Amino acid sequence: MSLLASISKPADLDSLSQAQLDQLADEIRAFLVESVSRTGGHLGPNLGVVELTMAVHLVFESPRDSIVFDTGHIGYVHKLLTGRQDFDHLRSRGGLSGYPSRAESEHDIVENSHASTSLAWAEGIAKGRRLAGETGTSTVAVIGDGALTGGMAWEALNDIAAHKDLPLVIVVNDNERSYAPTTGGLAEHLAVLRATRSYEQVLSWGRRTISSAPVVGQRAFEALHGMKKGLKDIIAPQVLFEDLGLKYLGPFDGHDISALTTALRRARDFGGPVIVHAITEKGRGYEHARNHVDDQFHAVGVINPETGLPLEIAGRSWTENFSETLCEIGREREDVVAVTAAMLIPVGLRDFAQAYPDRVFDVGIAEQHATTMAAGLSFAGRHPVVAIYSTFLNRAFDQVLMDCALHRQGVTFVLDRAGVTGSDGASHNGMWDFALTSIVPGIRVAAPRDGEQTSIALREAVDVSDGPTLLRFPKGSEPRPVPAVARRGTLDVLARHPAPEGQAQQVQDARVEIEDVPSLALDEPVDVLLVGVGAMAQVAVDAASVIADSGASVQVVDPRWVLPISEDLLTAARSARYVGVIEDHVAANGIGSALAAALAETGEPLAVHRFGLPKEFLDHAGRNEILADAGLTAPVVAEKVVAVLHPALL
């Protein structure tokens, strides 16, 4: 039996020799490469924290001691050491989560996996335990150098430093990267700290020399030791941490289990806040990851473990479309700049950065700062495009409201991974952005239904200079284009049953120049109006065909710009007996809710049937599985509409 198979709990590590621990590290890396290449997941980060995670579990007793990972995508090794070694369905329904999960194990604490939160969590846990009179326990936060760039982390450090006797160990997993190389002043500071490795090596040489040449060696070592303060101040300015009142240890080789366990025991026994600085290598042990310059296999789909090449052949992605269009705009307009929060590559800004390096600003994991800085760029005559994941917009709501909207600054937010992302679970589903932005005065929100509309919406967004704009699109490959068959004011008509004479009901295989199609009156009566929001447009079109078979007249529209609710959409809604809004968002606070509220404000309340996601945190599963669970499929939508219109047919 392999060593890894013999590990069912962290205490099983205690009986292993150093040679066995090294063997176990090799087995874990081989397991990760073999397993994650079949399922997809965060491979590179976990390959880099094997020894570090082992050392943490050798020194601290989980769950009696609390261990918080920041971010949780580095938790795979932790799962293996806490009895979870079935990775066959990792990040799939019924399988292990790709992040810590309280439902899986008592060893898991923080699930949200939004970066820079671990220090606040850990401080709260440590303070709470002290208030409860608990003694002899420790709290550990493992935080990456990328996550350490976030404002929350520094707010927590400032507060932690005021509590000199708080038993809290902060392990900095320094691999010089988040998705890509870490940027900013902190990154430069940590780079200087890494130079202490050479200093410590000189000291170690001096100590060894004493035993081999006592007289000369002792004199040399005394001279070197006398230079210690001046030398260390020059090449190891850990005073950034120590001047805050935080004990600093390191830097240490993050792949030396013996050195790490010694340092962690010292930190544990210190009795106050201690920072242990470990230098690790992202992708360690897997040559394809180490050689992947962009992100060292931060996250992968299904790959061939022998070559590192993807096995899944995906079509053109929404992100690629955005990237290409932004580069085109960049060539046309020198005022357009891009801003990101440590996600240059995932959000599609790499090509723009290569073409216009002086016009891209990566601020680290600091969405709040990115948003307000963008307001400043706008004030200075630029038009910033802030590209982030939808789930991370939550963190910058105040800045969108008070810095961008209040000051009417022309800032465009592009939200990648909007709606259901699926495999990354509750913390990464981008299902809250409509709810947040619907209360922001003056903001204009677009939900393009396909790649062609994404390009059009982006160009329209950067033309707005008197307030913030936002466009959102989902994760994955673009769908087949969903062409309009007519234009009703600002609305695209995607299907009409029955259609006016001489007009196609719907066109799926050919693009239609909507200007050449006779326009329809805004107030033309119809039995059913379906509003397909963004990526749900095709679901609306398909549902309309089924509904029409029941004898109802149906019209499907795409508002394109979904917030604020347009007068054209209000007029179309008033002309229908039944109005349904289909959206990849929380139904209770989405576009359907906004439409219902807008109708009520006009004094003509009309029932709006909302097809969307439940207001709850969704477990990890495939995107299509989650959409099906929420009833966001054409057959289910059609059945519910027909049940209201013609209950006798069911």
Catalytic residue among 395, 444, 496, 623: 395
Site of tokens 């020194």: 59
Write the pLDDT tens digit of every residue in 302-319: 777 776 667 665 678 999
User: Is 247 in the active site?
Assistant: no
**Quick one: average pLDDT of 249-257?**
93
* pLDDT above 70 for 301: yes
Q: What is the pLDDT of residue 239?
A: 56
Which residues are registered as beta bridge partners of 388?
415
* pLDDT above 90 for 410: yes
Q: What is the pLDDT of residue 464?
A: 98
The residues spanned by each domain of the chain are 4-195+236-290, 318-472, 486-649
**What are the binding residues for thiamine diphosphate?**
73, 113-115, 146-147, 175, 286, 367
pLDDT bin (cut points 50, 70, 90) of residue 403 is very high
**What are the binding residues?**
73, 113-115, 145-147, 175, 286, 367
* pLDDT above 80 for 465: yes
**Quick one: average pLDDT of 110-123?**
92
Which residues are registered as beta bridge partners of 275?
170, 248
* pLDDT above 70 for 272: yes
Q: What is the pLDDT of residue 236?
A: 47
For strands 444-446 and 561-563, give the pairing.
Answer: antiparallel
* pLDDT above 60 for 228: no
Write the pLDDT tens digit of every residue in 478-516: 999 999 999 888 999 999 998 544 444 443 333 334 444
Which residues are registered as beta bridge partners of 331?
none
**Quick one: average pLDDT of 431-456?**
97
Long-range Cβ contact pairs of 626-630 (< 8 A, separation 24 or more): 626/420, 626/422, 626/429, 627/420, 627/584
Please give the residue that has the higher pLDDT: either 210 or 394: 394
Least confident of 210-219, 372-381, 599-608: 210-219
* pLDDT above 60 for 300: yes
DSSP state of 33: H
Least confident of 216-225, 299-308, 470-479, 604-613: 216-225
One DSSP character per residue, 509-538 reads: SS---GGGSPPPPTT--EEEEEEE-GGGHH
Domains 4-195+236-290 and 486-649 share a fold: yes
Residues 6+ apart with CB under 8 A from 238: 193, 196, 248, 250, 277
Please state, in angstroms and rounded to a whole number, the distance separating the CA atoms of residues 606 and 608: 6
Amino acid at site 471: L
Report angle CA 291, 295, 297 to the nearest 5 degrees: 70
pLDDT bin (cut points 50, 70, 90) of residue 393 is very high
Query: What CATH number does domain 4-195+236-290 carry, 3.40.640.10, 3.10.180.10, 3.40.50.970, 3.40.50.1100?
Result: 3.40.50.970
User: Is 367 in the active site?
Assistant: yes
* pLDDT above 90 for 31: yes
pLDDT bin (cut points 50, 70, 90) of residue 445 is very high
* pLDDT above 60 for 398: yes
Write the pLDDT tens digit of every residue in 145-159: 888 888 899 999 999
pLDDT bin (cut points 50, 70, 90) of residue 294 is low
Write the pLDDT tens digit of every residue in 326-368: 999 999 999 999 999 988 999 999 999 999 999 999 998 899 9
Q: What is the pLDDT of residue 564?
A: 97
Residues 6+ apart with CB under 8 A from 48: 74, 173, 175, 254, 280, 281, 282, 283, 284
Site of tokens 């240490």: 252
Handedness of CA 402, 406, 409, 414 (dihedral sign): positive
Q: What is the pLDDT of residue 176?
A: 74
Percent of the chain predicted with pLDDT > 70: 83
Catalytic residue among 51, 367, 478, 583: 367
The encoded tokens of residue 286 equal 């897997």
Tell me the three-class secondary structure of 105-168, residue by residue.
Answer: CCCCCCCCCCCCCHHHHHHHHHHHHHHCCCCCCCEEEEEECCHHHCHHHHHHHHHHCCCCCCCE
**Which homologous superfamily is 318-472 in?**
Thiamin diphosphate (ThDP)-binding fold, Pyr/PP domains (3.40.50.970)
Please state, in angstroms and rounded to a whole number, the distance separating the CA atoms of residues 109 and 122: 10
pLDDT bin (cut points 50, 70, 90) of residue 544 is very high
* pLDDT above 60 for 223: no
3-state SS, residue 628: helix
Handedness of CA 289, 292, 297, 302 (dihedral sign): negative
Please give the residue that has the higher pLDDT: either 358 or 232: 358
Instruction: Please provide the CATH number assigned to the domain covering 486-649.
Output: 3.40.50.920
* pLDDT above 80 for 279: yes
* pLDDT above 70 for 222: no
Q: End-to-end CA distance of the chain: give it in Å, rounded.
A: 59
Q: Dihedral through CA 141, CA 74, CA 79, CA 93, nearest 10?
A: 130
Q: What is the pLDDT of residue 495?
A: 94
Mean pLDDT of the chain: 87
Q: What is the pLDDT of residue 329?
A: 98
**What are the binding residues for Mg(2+)?**
145, 175
pLDDT bin (cut points 50, 70, 90) of residue 196 is low
Catalytic residue among 177, 282, 444, 496: 282
Please give the residue that has the higher pLDDT: either 69 or 648: 69
pLDDT bin (cut points 50, 70, 90) of residue 191 is low
Q: What is the pLDDT of residue 233?
A: 44
Please state, in angstroms and rounded to a whole number, the distance separating the CA atoms of residues 36 and 23: 20
**Quick one: average pLDDT of 206-217?**
46
Q: What is the pLDDT of residue 289?
A: 73
pLDDT bin (cut points 50, 70, 90) of residue 285 is confident
**Quick one: average pLDDT of 521-546?**
93
pLDDT bin (cut points 50, 70, 90) of residue 604 is confident
User: Is 488 in the active site?
Assistant: no
- How distant is the alpha carbon of residue 169 from its chain centre? 26
Please state, in angstroms and rounded to a whole number, the distance separating the CA atoms of residues 89 and 38: 9
